[in-house]
Chains A and B, each alone.
Chain A
Amino acid sequence: MTQLIWNGLFVGSFYALIALGYSMVYGIIKLLNFAHGDIYMLGAFIGFATLSSFGVIPASMSITALLIVLLLTMIITGGIGVGIERLAYRPLRNSPRLAVLITAVGASFTLEYGVSAIAGPNPKVFPVRLQGETFDVLGARISAPQIVLMAIAILLMLGLNSYIQRTSMGRAMRAIALDSKGSLLMGINVNKVITWTFFIGSALAGAAGVMAGAYYGKIDFLMGFIIGLKAFTAAVIGGIGNIKGAMLGGLLLGLLEAFGSQWLGGEWRDVFTFAVLIAFLTLKPTGLLGERVTERV
């Protein structure tokens, strides 16, 4: 039981990190960024490439090397996220919403098969693997790498939360989410804020990618697809567009999956997850923390 809760929370923290980017972008420009899961994949591959270029890393240095690579990857994937917005989304900002949605799918495939063409279609083994002690906590086995990764995820999420709540950029983001035209009239540089939103969201997804690579050890070019859909589900559960909702939704989805697959069997995990998505979209489309809005997509 405690093991299930822990497993769920651990996987959930990955979902939450990716769901944040989904939710932020949706909140601000009402776009479901389907390329977001692939930014996660890209993060894993950039981490792989930079770590491989370091040569052999002694085991004692692996955490330090990983943190450096994590920061580096976040900056690069953040930049790529901004680039995608410029090239694929901004020219279509005044087009019907469906056009942007289709472009997002196109951007997703471009990233997937671009990586496949450059790095090859075969799965890669991550050069650094987090290893460490395991502890028994209330009957659940918890390993040191899991704690480290959870801690990084929580720190990133808390950092983002205070950034949005406390800084002027965060205030501008919230203002645009409420009323984009009104914000423009009040003198907010809307384009700059959207750029920042993409940067932060993509950086978080890239961080999740590096962390997944270091923990699971195997990366491949399609790894972002399912997890992207799951992050979307998490965002919907929490209330899409809501930052706290994305975190809650991620953790909750992890728990739902852990208990659902225990109850129905492992092969039913994804069926269960996406059935939850359908249930939420039909019964409570605003999610748990989302507010009732007059305009629906």
Chain B
Amino acid sequence: MKLRIPKVVTIAAVAATILATTGCGGILGGNDTKTSDSGPIKIAAVIPLSGSSAPTGVYMKNGMQMAVDEINAKGGVLGRQLQFDAEDEACDPTQAAAAANKAVSNGAVISVGGYCSGATLPTLPIFSKANIPMIIPAANSQELVNQKLPNVFLINGTGTQQAAAAVKFMIKDGVKSVALVDDNTSYSKDIAAQTKKDLEADGGVKVALATSVTAGESDYSSVVHDIMGANPDMLYWTGYYQEGGLIINQLKAAGYKGKIMVADGSVDASLIEISGGTNADGVFATMTQTPDTIKGAETWIADYTKKFGSAPGPYSTQSYDAVRVAAEAITKAGSTDGTKVIAALEGIDGFQLFSGPLKFTPEHTLTNGGFQILVVKGGKFVLQDTLS
């Protein structure tokens, strides 16, 4: 036994040395690429490519790839080609931090990822420390903005803007009482809390119930029971589609007759599948623009479908735009230096996105949130109200 202990120590020491040297190598390598002004410009995206949100992650990756290919075909940026690198975060904070570190050590100069807010949050300080600008296409919790980091830009409406859109529609639709249910994630709680605040300030719509559920379970009979007891005109579910589908299914089985609205994290074909049959028919959703609801996107949709063999899904346009904004900022800055690119992003005015001309607020969010209301009809999400 006495002999074994030094052996273990030696192994540990050797392992630690190897780790330390490779770690150093990574950091040195990162610095090298950053100072070099030739070779491809590396764009990284930390997005969910596995796990519950993987379907959306794939749409995002495709949208980004499409923009990268288009820009490269036109000669790239500053005469250099773009190189796109998608890292999997599986909608998990730990994996997201690891993926962000990997992207930084790979020499990324700009980040265009971010879907699950809870997983995106821990990546902010990592990119910030490396002075890498982030253009977040999908994650939209107010928490991301509250960090007040100079390198973080959101080209998607925030939770606050989403809540405002939800409230606007509730009032417009004549809803008198609402049940708010979130899934305890940063993104979801943010929208629910903001909606509650807005409704209380307005006073026209009563909050009959505000509660949370634990994500990842199968049986939601207790929250269904609470909703039935509160008897609201509308349920607003602010979590993701997995639990959303189950709750819709179990609500319908319990005989719920009121309206249901879901937030953008639940806008996915899987919501309709999981809720079963026609249960999701008539479910509303607060959502930023999808390719299907944008006028004049027909050629873009056709190009996408041709390239990837399937129709574009949610957040593919925002992801496409994120890469274009990144390229625009680097061109304007005339360099890939983080500080110069951030200044260029702040200076952008009128750059045409799918959601309209881009200009960032001092908080680095969109001047116009661009949320609209979708409804499930015949097994698909279609546009109900543009709220304009």
List residues of A whose CB falls within 8 A of some B CB: 3-4, 7, 10-11, 120-123, 125, 129, 131, 134, 141, 143, 212, 216-218, 220, 222-223, 226-227, 257-258, 261-262, 265-267, 269-270
Contacts and interface: CB of A to CB of B under 8 A. Distances in A.
Nearest to B227: A266
Contact of B213 (A11, A223, A266): A266
B384 interface: no
A129 B276 CA distance: 8
B222 A257 contact: yes
Contacts of B211: 265-267
Contact of A125 (B51, B184, B270): B270
Contacts of B246: 216-218
A131 B55 contact: no
Contact of A258 (B221, B245, B249, B277): B221
Contacts of B214: 266-267, 269-270
B63 to A, nearest CB: 19
Nearest to B241: A123
Contact of A266 (B216, B226, B245, B270): B226
Residue in A7, A227, A257, A258 whose Cβ sees the most chain B Cβ within 10 Å: A7
Given A3-B225, A217-B276, A262-B226, A121 B51 contact: yes
15 contacts: A7-B222, A7-B225, A121-B52, A121-B90, A123-B270, A131-B277, A217-B246, A220-B216, A223-B216, A258-B221, A258-B222, A261-B222, A266-B222, A266-B226, A270-B214
Contact of B255 (A134, A217, A223, A262): A134
Contacts of B253: 134, 141, 143
B273 interface: yes
A258 B255 CA distance: 19
A4 B255 contact: no
A218 B274 contact: yes
Interface of B: 50-52, 54-55, 90, 184, 211-214, 216-223, 225-226, 228, 242, 245-246, 249, 253-255, 270, 273-274, 276-277
A262 B222 contact: yes
A222 B253 CA distance: 25
B270 A220 contact: no
A7 B90 CA distance: 33
Residue in A121, A212, A266 whose Cβ sees the most chain B Cβ within 10 Å: A266
A266 B277 contact: no
B223 A266 contact: yes
Nearest to A145: B253
A218 B54 contact: no
Nearest to A122: B54
Contact of B254 (A141, A212, A223, A258): A141
B250 to A, nearest CB: 8
Contacts of B245: 217-218
A124 to B, nearest CB: 10
Contact of A123 (B52, B222, B249, B255): B52
B249 to A, nearest CB: 6
Nearest to A121: B50
A4 B228 CA distance: 12
Contacts of B216: 220, 222-223, 226
Contacts of A265: 211-212, 226
B219 A11 contact: yes
Contacts of B184: 267
Residue in A10, A125, A134 whose Cβ sees the most chain B Cβ within 10 Å: A125
Contacts of A226: 216-217
Given A122-B55, A123-B270, A125-B270, A223 B226 contact: no
A114 to B, nearest CB: 15
A217 B222 contact: no
B23 to A, nearest CB: 26
Nearest to A265: B211
Contacts of A7: 221-222, 225
Contacts of B218: 212, 216, 218, 223, 227
Given A143-B253, A218-B274, 12 more contacts: A123-B270, A123-B274, A131-B276, A217-B274, A220-B242, A226-B216, A261-B222, A262-B222, A266-B211, A266-B213, A267-B184, A269-B222
A3 B221 CA distance: 10
Residue in B184, B218, B220, B270 whose Cβ sees the most chain A Cβ within 10 Å: B218
A266 B184 CA distance: 11
Contacts of A143: 253
Nearest to B273: A125
B88 to A, nearest CB: 10
Residue in A4, A10, A269 whose Cβ sees the most chain B Cβ within 10 Å: A269
A262 B225 contact: yes
Nearest to A219: B218
